[in-house]
Structure 1
Amino acid sequence: MASFEYRTFTFRNVNSSAVELDLVRDTSAPSSLASPKKTLVFFHGGGLCSGNRRSRFPGWPLEVLMRRGWLILTADYHLLPEGQVEDMINDVKHLETWILAEGRQLGIDPELIAVAGSSAGAFVSCLALASWTKLRPRAFYSLYGMLQTDSDWYVTVKDGSASFAGLPATSLLAEDSEHYLVSGNTPVWHDTTEMNDPRNRVRLFMWLLKEGKIGPLVTSSLKAATGENSPLDLITSSFPPTVAIHGTADTVVPIADSRALVAALTKSGVENQLVEVSGADHGITPQDKYHAEIEKSVDLLEAYIRS
């Protein structure tokens, strides 16, 4: 039976407040005591507006890796709209410094690192891969990545019949979310709003998506930080081999995002593979139905690490 151990560390301080990461391992895995070892640096999803390093842990893919002896490093990062993409870039740069300074003594092999992100976490992964100057990850694992953020899907108003992962668009009200857009709000990098609260930050993202506001918000912040309109514009030949997995029936992040990702990688000469999961919604749900496809993507990731 799996037994997960979480060790928490501070990798950055902002105005005397800690930005933290967890180092997670399965203590029952055969190689759990081996050191150093393969490590997945994982960024959570949440539309860049919500979530934290624990609340968006995508289940089966990471459990499979830990069962095979991997470490998982999952880190918080600044959230929109209080934070900006520039803050996220500073987060991932501090994370790189921490891994190089502290990682090996904690069992991380800096030569055997993969970077991964689920949904908006794939966006943050691209920021890391484009910003890191010393770490050279061996692979990128994009789980239903939110990446083509300047496309029509993120800038158009959805009609009342729309539904996002089962959440009706009609239930997303301006009065529950507009207060987040007030300037001067305190920066947030560890969202703990409750899902049953109509003013929670997941619903903020969904409302921004419904209103076609998330695309302009993300694009303006990314452009201010990097000069680019989309994280796909950050891709160069220096990106590592990439595995992407995405459901064909995703109602939050369309599979077109992952298809655009592999097209950009191919154009840059980066080896890549896309696992399309027929009928799966956001999160490759229901995951119990798609274990075989998820394990296939993990096998491809491990092949890139071994190569």
Structure 2
Amino acid sequence: MPLCVQYKEINGTRLTADIYLPSSQGKRPVLINIHGGAFMLGSSKMVSLPQIEDCLSRDWIVVVPNHRLCPAVNILEGPISDCRDLLAWIYDGHLDEFLRVQSEGSDGSTLVSCDLDKVMAFGTSSGGTLALALCFDVPRTPAAILNFYAPVNFSHPFWTSPLPHVAARLPGTLTEQFMKKVYDEFPVPSGGETSLEGQSVGPDFSRPRDAFAFTAIANGSVIDRCYPPPLDRTLIDPLVRVADGSFPPTYIVHGEADTMVPPELSRGLFATLKENGVRCGMTEVPGEEHTFAMRMVKGSATWQLQRQGFDFLEEIISGGNSTL
């Protein structure tokens, strides 16, 4: 079982993170692992445990945060702000303070501590966007980023395109008045019972949040709902911020059969990273849809391919210069 710590409180919302510790002792790299869910769904419990176990076998500390969910807060003022504050909380030594209390040896020494020169960030889907957002408008970026099928390039026509295969799942009884109850939730929630991360139980459309989120996805209005016009999308779009020159080494993993976030968006980000001299890599996984990370079988061909992203992180923090 992971440890749990509060890293922030804002307007009545307590934000926590699950902390997974490796079995080894000493100063260890830290991986921030951010869940997906279209910025509106999900929680720290909805991440891949096999991936976490793989990271622990590499002797990494894994930090899985909750963040406030849209739409009662927008993407920048809610999820991005929370994840940036978590990063600052780690860099300011608060995670080490927490671990000092939790993992003190019989001689008073700290059994596990953070190597603050080796803090990395990883996220799936919207969590990948949030991981990438740690690369700009922050005092200190992570050492490396791993992004699985993240939404980027918010000026692309896809972000206003309906998705008929999602609309087909919606009941015909949903009303705008019912769905808008999500704006009345107080304090703003930081975790939901449903995500898009391959959960076995589907959405419950008797819940306003599930109904609101899946309707926005079906209508092609996720970004408009979570970051309403006339807000400046360049403030949240990793693609247009690469040229700022602050991006650390970045790796992308994307399923070739993704119908929720087209792989062409990740290909565009990869090309932009290369054009701007960012050390980067990309793996496209044949036949895989969105959120495959939660459904893949450990040891499968998909499992081996996606591990290239984690191998890239390991290469970066070890100081290697080879490309994968």
Deviations 1:22-59 (A, max 9, x none): 11124xxxxx232220111111100111001112x034
1:134-149 paired onto structure 2 within 5 Å: 135-149=140-154
* 1:75 has 2:65 as partner: yes
- Which consecutive residues of structure 1, in runs of 5 or more, have no partner in the other structure? 27-31, 164-168
- Partner residue, 2:193: 192
Partner amino acid for 1:269?
G
- Partner residue, 2:275: 267
Name the CA shift for 1:151/1:191 in 2 (closer, same or farther; >3 Å). Answer: same
* 1:297 has 2:309 as partner: yes
* 1:287 has 2:279 as partner: no
**2:245, 2:254 → 1: CA distance?**
23
Deviates more, 1:266-275 or 1:95-104: 95-104
> In 1, are the aligned partners of 2:154 and 2:233 still within 8 Å (CA)?
no
Name the CA shift for 1:175/1:25 in 2 (closer, same or farther; >3 Å). Answer: farther
* 1:40 has 2:31 as partner: yes
**2:20, 2:175 → 1: CA distance?**
33
Calculate the aligned-residue CA RMSD, in Å.
2.5
Deviates more, 1:285-294 or 1:138-147: 285-294
Name the CA shift for 1:142/1:306 in 2 (closer, same or farther; >3 Å). Answer: same
> In 2, are the aligned partners of 1:147 and 1:258 still within 8 Å (CA)?
yes
The count of aligned residue pairs is 288
Q: TM-score, normalised by structure 2?
A: 0.80
Name the CA shift for 1:204/1:305 in 2 (closer, same or farther; >3 Å). Answer: farther
1:176: Cα distance to partner?
4.2
2:247 equivalent among 239, 250, 257: 239
- Partner residue, 1:24: 20
What secondary structure is seen at the aligned counterpart in 2 of 1:36?
Answer: strand
What secondary structure is seen at the aligned counterpart in 1 of 2:191?
Answer: coil
**1:83, 1:280 → 2: CA distance?**
32
> In 1, are the aligned partners of 2:162 and 2:219 still within 8 Å (CA)?
yes
* 1:51 has 2:42 as partner: yes
1:208: Cα distance to partner?
1.1
**1:175, 1:148 → 2: CA distance?**
33
**2:95, 2:141 → 1: CA distance?**
14
**1:229, 1:130 → 2: CA distance?**
9
- Partner residue, 2:162: 157
**Matched-pair identity in %:** 22
Name the CA shift for 1:145/1:227 in 2 (closer, same or farther; >3 Å). Answer: closer
- Which consecutive residues of structure 2, in runs of 5 or more, have no partner in the other structure? 100-112, 195-200, 320-324
What secondary structure is seen at the aligned counterpart in 2 of 1:171?
Answer: coil
- Partner residue, 2:170: 172
**1:181, 1:232 → 2: CA distance?**
31
1:184: Cα distance to partner?
4.2
Max Rg structure = 2
**2:45, 2:137 → 1: CA distance?**
24
- Partner residue, 1:181: 180
Deviations 1:1-23 (A, max 9, x none): xxxx4111111112344111111
Name the CA shift for 1:136/1:230 in 2 (closer, same or farther; >3 Å). Answer: closer
Name the CA shift for 1:146/1:59 in 2 (closer, same or farther; >3 Å). Answer: farther
What secondary structure is seen at the aligned counterpart in 2 of 1:198?
Answer: coil
What secondary structure is seen at the aligned counterpart in 1 of 2:31?
Answer: strand
- Partner residue, 1:257: 265
1:110 equivalent among 97, 106, 116: 116
1:195: Cα distance to partner?
3.9
1:229: Cα distance to partner?
6.5
* 1:128 has 2:128 as partner: no
What secondary structure is seen at the aligned counterpart in 2 of 1:153?
Answer: helix
